[in-house]
Amino acid sequence: MDNLKPVRVNRNRLETNLQALAVYGHNGPSKGITRPFGSQADKEARAWLSTLWSRHLELQVHTDPIANLWVTIEGKENLPAIVVGSHHDTVTNGGMYDGAMGVLLATEVLQTIQEHGIQLRHPLKAVSFSGEEPNSFNVSTLGSKVATGKLSTEDLFEKRDNKGTVLFRETLHELGGDVGLLTNAIITNQEIGAFLECHIEQGKKLESKGLSLGVVTKIIGIYREKIIVIGEANHAGTTLMHHRYDALTAASELLLVAEKAIVACKSDEVVGTVGYLQVEPNSTNIIPGQVEFILEIRAVDSPYKERIIKEITKGFNEVAARRKVEVQREVILDQAPKPMNAELMQALEHGANQIGEQVARLISMAGHDAANVSDVTRSAMLFVSSVNGKSHCPDEFSRIEDIAKAGNALLEAVLYLDRKLD
């Protein structure tokens, strides 16, 4: 190694890899990428990544029982591994950076370390987690939940998709996983000493400060409820307005009740969304008989969440009684806000400073695998500025200059942690 010249990632290779991975699930010109867990595009992306890791890095790819993909460069000493990575699935018609960028930055760091002949003390692993985004099985951050013992074989064995037709275990099997062996996917802090996830910010804070990079202090808590409103399907012409039990107009009121309760918190660290809604039978001339939707509430501090739930419970009961519909509620996710590890945050800051970058410290309003991993071992995140703060849409964009800076800051942080951690 040439001591005078710092080791740097290969920006052109990084850009080529980002474009290559973006092909899988691409919906056509000016459109986004749809690559949910278990889809054909997911399978193709996995095959592409496995080839990249096995052919170009000449590392053996390990698919764990929840189909997380791992590669390892062995260390000189018998120490817990340093892990870098993110996820390769996408939302419906999403962008090419969310998740993919973190996996490819991890790849780039491993490859750079390898080609410079750097021998680390710790094993260095790259990971691409399975199903980070919401999917037809209604489980997000799937791979990291299983890896941190939050979901077991028992929880997932009989699980079906939201149409009730596809068995989770069969989809998992097609990806190389095995629902019967999920305990073998569990990670411990003896095996993994640090997890660093690079991700696009998906907001505008860094851009407004004129910074390329940020270090995450805390990952927002996410709460999701599946709500089913049961009314009565009937003829849209012959049923008088006061004889109707319209599940959709009732659901519309519920959405507004929720929005009002969220807005009443008057906090930029509390948001809520209904982004999924299914109307039955969804036909022009039939009064909707049933509506299913998912309400999501995100809050940095849990008391806000409790307050919103109290308010919506009151409001939902009032709407249900007045409109004579049934409202069934099921909590499908209740994830607390997660602070990131101070030592790793400092390492990322050090990494950025080594390449002459100042960083902001900021809260993540998006959920990430690092939140789950933080329950088991030290975790931290490095954010890259998102142009116009756009994400989960085709316009999602981060500049390759900023992405390359993240790669070099991550590389420096890994080298620093390799010296520092035991």
Residue 367 contacts ligand HGY per CB under 6 A: yes
197 binds ligand HGY (CB under 6 A): no
* Residue 366 contacts ligand HGY per CB under 6 A: yes
The footprint of ligand HGY on residues 61-100 (CB under 6 A) is 98
Rounded to whole angstroms, how far apart are CA atoms 315 and 260? 10
Q: Does 33 bind ligand HGY (CB under 6 A)?
A: no
Among 108, 132, 246, 292, binds ligand HGY (CB under 6 A): 132
- Size of the residue set binding Mn ion (CB under 5 A): 2
CB of 340 to Mn ion, least distance (A): 15
Q: Pick one of 98, 197, 246, 418: the residue that binds Mn ion (CB under 5 A).
A: 98
Q: Which residue is nearest to ligand HGY (CB)?
A: 366
The answer to whether the CB of 98 falls within 8 A of the CB of 396 is yes
**Site stretch for ligand HGY (CB under 6 A), options 7-15, 132-140, 279-287, 375-383:** 132-140
Q: Do 7 and 112 form a contact (C-beta atoms < 8 A)?
A: yes
CB of 137 to ligand HGY, least distance (A): 15
Q: In whole angstroms, how close is the CB of 17 to Mn ion at the nearest point?
A: 17
Closest distance to Mn ion from the beta carbon of 94 (Å):
7
Which residue lies nearer to ligand HGY by CB, 132 or 201? 132
Residue 133 sits in the site that holds ligand HGY (CB under 6 A): yes
Helix 100-115 to helix 11-21 angle (10° resolution) is 140
Residue 270 CB, shortest distance to ligand HGY, in Å, is 14
For residue 140, the minimal CB distance to ligand HGY (Å) is: 6
- Provide the binding-site residues for Mn ion, judged by CB under 5 A: 98-99
What are the residues binding ligand HGY (CB under 6 A)? 98, 132-133, 140, 366-367
